């Protein structure tokens, strides 16, 4: 990956995008489209189709027909494996182009996007390709005159709705295990970042995925997302995004066919720094990346820094130094450490939380303002508020932006009470040199992920999922496969 290649790819024209249904590009039935505006410079550079409920219905019917034909659902596992390996290899060959396309769409810095988007997606397809013929049924331990078999059947048609912050990575987390188990998929990307997933669907077809097995409908969530959630022929719906939308999807399930719904709904993740942390400077450096990379637009972002009072002032200043030193700017430059906010609407949301923190008495230590306005893009300075009480809005609500809240604590018990004192339970971290304390905190923190002396990272071998209002079900690992199968018992008298 070199700067000249990135610059050349950034100039590649992107034509208007259609819907990908039945292995081919089609226009939205009503001919509607939405502009694609880059947060890098605020300029429109293409359009995506704005699907109607009728388009979603066509995509679901196409997926159902492909499923029932057995061309994929009843294909030998070894055949599905070959296709998924080819997809992984094709993604890797095109990784830089896919990364640049995604950055133009959503503003993630290229140094992160390359690894987190196409390279991660390729790894996910490869992981589930390797796994799919290792997951079988069971023979139950029954009496000698009975044979009990447990079959793992594909569910049928999976609807997947994915967000704009890491569309390829999160999209692959949904698509790959669903395909591995023999399902058909209708994917609905965010209207803010659809381009890389549209190209992924095309890559899948080029690699031999049968027509209709993966379909992509783009457009406004209020239309196409709702239509997918309410559709009577979608068997399972998987979603990553906001709690408000997640609640609506559960309502749509109740109003339609009671489809299973699996939700990953973000968090307000505590990052707890004890005075006995092995290296306080390293903790500050990693913690800064944990909240400010991708401009804080990460579901597991460590947005709450809980710091033991004896090192509170020292650590807060270290964190502020890291924030001030970060290079914010054009995300297509290799030396940029944090890129653009994904959209003007998201930037306005960030600014609202900053203003609220001022009103409620937070002490601003760094940032707190929009920057680089001359570019026309959507950029915000890494922002830190100190002395944030657990009752303040900034300590309780997800900003999804580059805003950190620091709260001091006195004891381990107080740290736990504050850490578990929100509605969320997605991720967390503990910095300590005390092994016993580390194990106690892992057990006591109510979150799906607990980092110890690090923040971020983890591959497909481990699950990602939330507790409480951070959702249900898991992406990644073999556990993700459970969402995409039906268990069927055969009870045979011998």
Residues carrying an active site annotation: 264, 299
Strand order of the sheet with strand 157-161? 24-26, 19-21, 214-216, 184-188, 157-161, 236-240, 260-264
Query: What are the tokens at 494?
Result: 């011998």
CB 104 within 8 A of CB 164: no
What is the DSSP-derived secondary structure letter of residue 338? Answer: B
> What's the CA gap between 10 and 6, in Å, rounded?
6
SS3 content of the chain, % helix, strand, coil (to 5): 45, 20, 35
**DSSP-derived pairing of the beta strands 138-139 and 44-49:** unpaired
The phi-psi region of residue 53 (left if phi > 0; otherwise alpha if psi is between -120 and 50; otherwise beta) is alpha
Nearest to 47 by CA among 18, 26, 20: 18
Q: 44 vs 35, 70, 275, CA distance in Å?
A: 6, 42, 49
CA angle 486/164/189 to nearest 5° reads 50
Long-range pairs for 242-247: beta carbons < 8 A, 24 or more residues apart: 242/266, 243/469, 245/161, 245/221, 246/471
Query: What are the tokens at 224?
Result: 């196409």
Q: 5 vs 1, 106, 430, CA distance in Å?
A: 7, 19, 40
Buried b / exposed e across 100-134, counting CB within 10 Å, b at 16+?
bbbbbbbbbbbbbbbebbbbbbbbbbbbbbebbee
**Residue found by looking up tokens 């990052």 in the block:** 271
DSSP 19-66: EEETTEEE--TT--EEEEE-TTTS-EEEEEE---HHHHHHHHHHHHHH
> What's the CA gap between 268 and 452, in Å, rounded?
17
């Amino acid at each position: 990956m070199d700067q000249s290649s990135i610059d050349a790819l950034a100039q590649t024209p992107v034509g208007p995008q259609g819907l990908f249904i039945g292995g081919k590009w089609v226009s939205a039935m009503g001919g509607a489209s939405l502009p694609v505006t880059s947060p890098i410079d605020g300029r429109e550079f293409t359009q995506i189709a704005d699907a109607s409920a009728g388009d979603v219905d066509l995509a679901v019917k196409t997926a159902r027909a492909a499923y029932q034909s057995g061309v994929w659902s009843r294909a030998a596992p070894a055949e599905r494996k070959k296709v998924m390996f080819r997809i992984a290899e094709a993604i890797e060959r095109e990784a830089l182009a896919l990364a640049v396309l995604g950055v133009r769409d959503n503003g993630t810095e290229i140094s992160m996007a390359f690894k987190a988007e196409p390279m991660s997606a390729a790894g996910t397809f490869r992981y589930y390709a390797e796994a799919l013929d290792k997951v079988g049924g069971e023979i139950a331990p029954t009496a000698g005159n009975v044979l009990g078999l447990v079959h793992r059947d594909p569910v049928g048609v999976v609807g997947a709705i994915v967000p704009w912050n890491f569309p390829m990575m999160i999209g692959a987390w949904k698509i790959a295990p669903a395909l591995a188990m023999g399902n058909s998929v209708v994917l609905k990307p965010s209207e803010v970042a659809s381009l890389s997933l549209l190209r992924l669907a095309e890559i899948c077809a080029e690699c031999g995925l049968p027509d209709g097995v993966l379909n992509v409908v783009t457009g406004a969530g209020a239309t196409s997302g709702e239509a997918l959630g309410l559709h009577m022929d979608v068997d399972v719906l998987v979603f990553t995004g906001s709690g408000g939308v997640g609640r609506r999807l559960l309502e749509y399930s109740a109003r339609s066919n009671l489809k299973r719904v699996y939700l990953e709904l973000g968090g307000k993740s505590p990052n707890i720094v004890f005075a006995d942390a092995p290296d306080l400077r390293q903790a500050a450096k990693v913690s800064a990346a944990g909240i400010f990379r991708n401009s804080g637009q990460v579901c597991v972002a460590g947005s709450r820094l809980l710091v033991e009072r004896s090192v509170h002032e020292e650590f807060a200043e270290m964190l502020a130094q890291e924030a001030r030193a970060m290079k914010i700017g054009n995300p297509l430059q290799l030396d940029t450490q944090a890129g653009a906010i994904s959209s003007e609407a998201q930037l306005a949301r960030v600014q609202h939380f900053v203003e609220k923190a001022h009103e409620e008495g937070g002490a601003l230590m760094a940032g707190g303002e929009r920057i680089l306005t001359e570019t026309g893009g959507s950029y915000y300075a890494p922002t830190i508020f100190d002395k944030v009480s657990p009752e303040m809005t900034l300590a309780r609500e997800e900003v999804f932006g580059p805003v950190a809240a620091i709260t001091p604590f006195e004891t381990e018990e107080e740290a736990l009470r504050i850490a578990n004192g929100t509605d969320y339970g997605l991720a967390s971290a503990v910095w300590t040199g005390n092994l016993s304390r580390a194990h106690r905190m892992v057990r006591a923190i109510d979150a799906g992920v607990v980092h110890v002396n690090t923040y971020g990272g983890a591959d497909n071998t481990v699950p990602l999922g939330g507790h409480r209002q951070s959702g249900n079900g898991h992406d990644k690992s073999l556990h993700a496969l459970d969402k995409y199968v039906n268990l069927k018992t055969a009870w045979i008298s011998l």
